[in-house]
Structure 1
Amino acid sequence: MKKHKGNKKAQLLTIIIFGIIAIFSAYFGKDIISTNVGTPTGVLEISYLDVGQGDAAYIRVNDFDILIDAGPKSDSDKLMKQLEEKNIDDFEIVIATHPHEDHIGGMTKVFEKYDVESFYMPKATNTTKTFENMMKAVSNEGLNANVIKEGTSFELGEGARIDVYSPIQESYDDLNDYSPIMKLTYGNKAFIFTGDAEKVVEEEVVKKYANELKADVIKFGHHGSSTSSTKEFIEAISPKYGIISCGVDNSYGHPHKETLKIIDEMGIEAYRTDKQGQITITSDGNNIEIKTQAI
C-alpha cells in the first residue's frame, strides 16, 4: 500500500514538473528558441580576405563553407589564391551583399572553380557587365538567386546561426543600402557583417533590433566610410574588435577620419586589410583569436 502511494506521489510530482515546464515554454519559448543555438563542438573560422578596395569574407563552420562577397575583378586572382589555400571543396552558401563591382567582381571566377549549393542576394539589380556576368555564372551553375532580406536566417549546424536584419524596405535610392546587415552567432560569440549598408539602414536596424545587435566583432560598413558606422549603430553592437576592408592608398580615402574617431572613442581594437592583409578569426564559441597576414 505504501509503495502504491509512493508511486502516485512520484507520478503527481512528475506531472507538476512537466506542467511548470510547459507553462514556462508557453510564455518564454520564443526567446529561448531565438537565443539558444546549441553548444559548439568545433572551431569557427572567419577570414576577411585581402581583395584591395573591395570586400570578401570566407566562413568555415561545422560542415558549411560560406562566402560573403568576392571583391573587385581587378583582385580576383588574389581572391582565388586565398581561397585555394583553404582547401575548399565547394560552397554551401554564397552571398552577394549588393550589385557593386567591388563586391561581386570576383564572383564569376568563384562559380567557375567551385560547386555552389545556394546563392543569395538582395532584390536589387545593376546594368553593368559585371552584374550580368555574375548572373550568367549563377545560371550556369543551375541555380536561382534566392532573395536575402530582413527575417532570412541560416542554421549552420550545432552552435551556429546567421540572422539577417536588413534590407527592411522593398527599395532604396542607393544600391549600398540593399546590403544585408547580418549577425553570425557561434556559441557565446557573435560577429556582425554589414556589406556597404549606410546610415539610413543602420538607423532602421537600430530602431527595430537594437536589443539583438550586441556582438564581439563588426566588419565596418562601406570600407570604413563616414557614410556608415553611425555612433548609435556601433554603440548598439558594442564590439571589442572591428575589421575594415579597404585598399592601400585608395582614392576614396577609406577609412574616413569620422569612423576612426568612433573606433578610438569606443576603444575598439581595429584591424585593416590595407595594413595587415588577410585577417583571420577563430573561435571555439567562448574565446576569440585573431591572426593577420603581414603585407
Structure 2
Amino acid sequence: MTRKYKRKKTNINKPLSILLTTLLVSVAFLLGSWFGKNNISYQWIETYANEISSQIRSLGSYFNKDKKSEKLADYHFFDMGQASSVLLKGYDGTTILIDTGRYNDSEPRIIDYLNAEIGIGAEIDLLIFTHNDADHIGNGDLVLDYFQVNEVWMNGMDHTSQTYSRLLDALLKSDAIYTEPKDGYTTEMGAFSIEVFHPLENEKQSNQNDESIVTRITLGDTVLMHTGDVNADVEKRILNEASASLQSDIMVLGHHGSNESTSEKWLQAINPSVAVYQAGVGNQYGHPHREILQLFDNHPAELLGTDNYGTIHIVVNENNEIDIFTEEEG
C-alpha cells in the first residue's frame, strides 16, 4: 500500500499562458479590423474566433499533458533500519548510490533493493560512501562484488573495523575509479550536477562523522542536500563559507535525525519542501531526537522518516512537481 503526496513547486506553463493570451488578443484585433473594413458578418467572426480559441486551448493541453507525463528521476531512501542508503536514478539511466546500510543486516537488503530498482548485477555510475562507519558502508563489499560500479567516492579517513577492511579489499578487486572529493569539487554525472562542500582539503576532523562527504545534487530544477553524519559545527562552517544559496528542495537530515546535526540556521538556509531521515524503529540512540522534530513544527517541509514509513520513494517530474510514495506500516 502506498501513500502519495504531490507538491507543485513552480508553474512552468506561465510562458505558454502568456503566449496563448497574446495570440487571442492578436486574433481579436485582426477580426475587429476586418469587421470594420469588409462586409463580413459578425456571426462568421464569432465562429472563427471560437474555433481558433479552441484549437489554441487544445494545443496548450497537449503540451501540458506531455510535461506532466515526463519523469526526470526516482529517488529511493531505502529502509535500512538504523542505517543509511539512498539511490538516485536519472531519466538518462545514470545511477548514484549514497551509502550501503548496516554491516550486520541479517539479510543484505541493499542487494534486493538494487536488483529491484536498477536490475540484477546492473551498472552503478557513482557510489558515494559518506564516511566509513559500519552503518554507512555495511555490505559495501557485496555491492562492489555484485554490481558494475564505475566510480567510488570516500572521505580518505581510515577505520579499524573489519567492515572497512572488507570494503577496501573489494574496492581493490574492482575496476572502479577511486576519488576523495573535497570542498569546492564539482562534477557532472550524467544528468546530475554534484557540488561537494565537505570535507576540507587540508584539515582533518577528529571523527568519522564530521569527515562525512557533504553533497548538493541537482537534476533539472530539483536539488537534494545530503550531509552524511556531520554535526552542526560543520554545517555552520559551510553556511559561513558558501558563496551562493544552499537552498535545496529535498534534504536528508544529518546523522539520522540527531540533535547534534540539522541546526535551525541550517534548516532555514536549506529551506526544503521535503526532509527525510533514515532511522530504525525504536533505535537505541533515540533518533530522531525530539529537538529535531520540534524544529519542523514551525517549518512547512514534509518530514518523513523510514522508521515510520519504510522506504520513501520520491519521483522528480519535469513540470517541477515531486510525487512522494511511502510504505505504510501495519
- Give distance in 1, aligned partners of 2:203 and 2:177: 20
Aligned partner (choices 86, 101, 110) of residue 71 of structure 1:
101
The equivalences for 1:4-153 within 5 A come to 42-61=71-90, 62-75=92-105, 77-88=108-119, 89-143=122-176, 145-153=178-186
Gap regions ≥5 residues in structure 1: 1-40
For the Cα contact (< 8 Å) 1:95–1:119, is it kept in 2? yes
Q: Report the more deviating stretch, 162-171 or 218-227.
A: 162-171
Q: Report the more deviating stretch, 185-194 or 248-257.
A: 185-194
Counterpart of 1:125, as a letter, is: D
For the Cα contact (< 8 Å) 2:209–2:230, is it kept in 1? yes
Whether 1:163 aligns to 2:192 is no
- Give distance in 2, aligned partners of 1:79 and 1:143: 19
- Give distance in 2, aligned partners of 1:260 and 1:279: 18
Spell out, residue by residue over 1:144-187, the C-alpha distance to the aligned partner (whole angstroms, 9 max, x if none). 531022122231334x3111111125200121011122111122
- Give distance in 2, aligned partners of 1:131 and 1:288: 36
Residue of structure 1 equivalent to 2:323: 289
- Give distance in 1, aligned partners of 2:189 and 2:203: 27
Whether 1:251 aligns to 2:284 is yes
- Give distance in 2, aligned partners of 1:55 and 1:289: 21
Identity of aligned residues (%): 29
Greater relative contact order (Cα 8 A, min sep 6): structure 1 or 2?
A: 2
Counterpart of 2:213, as a letter, is: P
Spell out, residue by residue over 1:230-275, the C-alpha distance to the aligned partner (whole angstroms, 9 max, x if none). 1111110011110010001000000001111111121321111011
For the Cα contact (< 8 Å) 2:71–2:315, is it kept in 1? no
- Give distance in 1, aligned partners of 2:111 and 2:327: 16
For the Cα contact (< 8 Å) 2:150–2:175, is it kept in 1? no
For the Cα contact (< 8 Å) 1:211–1:236, is it kept in 2? no
- After TM superposition, the score normalised by the length of structure 1 is 0.82
Counterpart of 1:153, as a letter, is: T
Residue of structure 2 equivalent to 1:224: 257
TM-fit CA distance, 1:42: 5.0
Residue of structure 1 equivalent to 2:239: 206
- Give distance in 1, aligned partners of 2:130 and 2:245: 21
For the Cα contact (< 8 Å) 2:150–2:177, is it kept in 1? no
Number of matched pairs: 254
Q: Report the more deviating stretch, 78-87 or 194-203.
A: 78-87
Residue of structure 2 equivalent to 1:9: none
- Give distance in 2, aligned partners of 1:223 and 1:180: 15
- Give distance in 2, aligned partners of 1:82 and 1:265: 34
